[in-house]
Amino acid sequence: MRILIYLFLGVFCLTFPASSLEIQYLGHSGFFLRFAGGLRVILDPFSSSLGYPPPQEEADLLLSSHEHPDHYNPDFLGKEVVTLAGTTNNGAEWNLFVETLGEVRFFNLPSYHDDQGGKLRGKNTLLVLEGEGMRIVHLGDLGTRLTLEEVKNLGVVSILFLPVGGYYTITPEEAQAMVAQLKPAVVIPMHYRTEVTATWPIAPIEEFLSLVQGFPIHKKGHGIMITKDTLPQQTEIWILEYPKRE
C-alpha cells in the first residue's frame, strides 16, 4: 500500500519551476521542504499545543525523527497525509526505512534521545534526504554524541538541521563539536528556546551562537532557496525565523 501511495504522489506532485530546494522554518524542529520536482515534505511536524502558528503550506509527506508530540503529529495539516515516523511504540523501538519518491531518496539511521542508550527518553532517528545533488540531514532529538560509524554513515552533509538547546538533546557545546565533526556546508539551528517555548528548560540560540563565532553567521529570514552550486564552500550558520502569530 505504501508503494502505491508513493506512486500516486510521484505522478501528481506539481513541478516547482525553479531548479532549487526551498526551505521554510515552521518553528521548534519543524521544516517545510519543496524540491525542484515538486515534492513537498514537512520534517518533524509538531503538536498544535506547542503554540507555533499552523503551517500555510500543503505537503505530500510528513517525516518524523521519532514519535514524541513536539516532533510527530499526523494531523499537522488537518487532513490525511502520508506519514512516516522513525520510531514505533512511542519511541521504544526504531522504525527504519529507505524510500524513494520521485527523484528524492530518504532514509533514517538509528540513534538515541539521551546519552544512556535510550533509558531516559527512548530512541531517535537521524533523517537523511538526498535530492537536487544535496544531502540534507535532520538530527531530530539527538541526545548523545555521534559515533565515528554514524558520522561515516551520514557522509558528506550539505545542510544540517541541528538541535542546539540542550536538556532534551545534545548541549550547545556538543552541538558545536558536531559542527566540527560533520563539516556541513550549512548549519540551521533548531530546538532552542523561543518566545513560544519560553518556559522550557532549553537554552536560547544565543548560547550556541556564542560558541561558533569562528563560522560566518547569517540571518536568512523565514525561508531560503538553495541549489548545490550556491552552497557555501566552508561551513556557515544560517538562522531562520519561525512565523509569528498575527
The fraction of the chain above a pLDDT of 70, given in percent, is: 92
**Rounded to 5°, angle at Cα 183 from 179 and 189:** 40
Q: Which residues contact 214 (CB under 8 A, 6 or more apart)?
A: none
Joined together, the cell numbers standing for residue 39 give 515534492
* CATH number for the domain whose boundaries are 2-239: 3.60.15.10
The fraction of the chain above a pLDDT of 90, given in percent, is: 87
**What is residue 209's three-state secondary structure?**
helix
Helix residue ranges, H only, the chain: 2-12, 148-154, 172-182, 205-209
pLDDT at 152: 94
Grade residue 246 by pLDDT with cuts at 50, 70 and 90: low
DSSP 8-state secondary structure symbol assigned to residue 122: -
Mean pLDDT of all residues in 97-111 = 96
Mean pLDDT of all residues in 23-28 = 98
Measured distance CA(195)–CA(193) in Å, rounded: 7
Joined together, the cell numbers standing for residue 232 give 557555501
For the chain, give every domain's residue range.
Answer: 2-239
